Amino acid sequence: MLMIVRLDHPTRGKVTVNGRRYATHAAPLREVGILLDPWATRPR
């Protein structure tokens, strides 16, 4: 999810949302909803 919304950089490959890259959506924040849990990415 972080790579889709451009908060992390992939090393290869590509991802699309509804057939288009996230950055090409007219209003990506309205078209793609995310909920990031800050505790999910912390090392355990």
Rounded to whole angstroms, the Cα distance separating 15 from 21 reads 7
Coil, strand or helix at 8: coil
Q: Full-prediction pTM beyond 0.85?
A: no
The total number of structural domains that make up the chain: 1
Spatial neighbors of 22 by CB under 8 A, at least 6 apart, are 4, 5, 6, 15, 28, 32
pLDDT tens sequence across 1-44? 777 777 787 788 888 888 988 888 888 878 777 777 777 666 65
- SS3 state of residue 21: coil
Q: Which domain holds residue 30?
A: 1-44
Task: Return the structure tokens found at 36.
Answer: 């990031």
What is the per-residue pLDDT for 44? 56
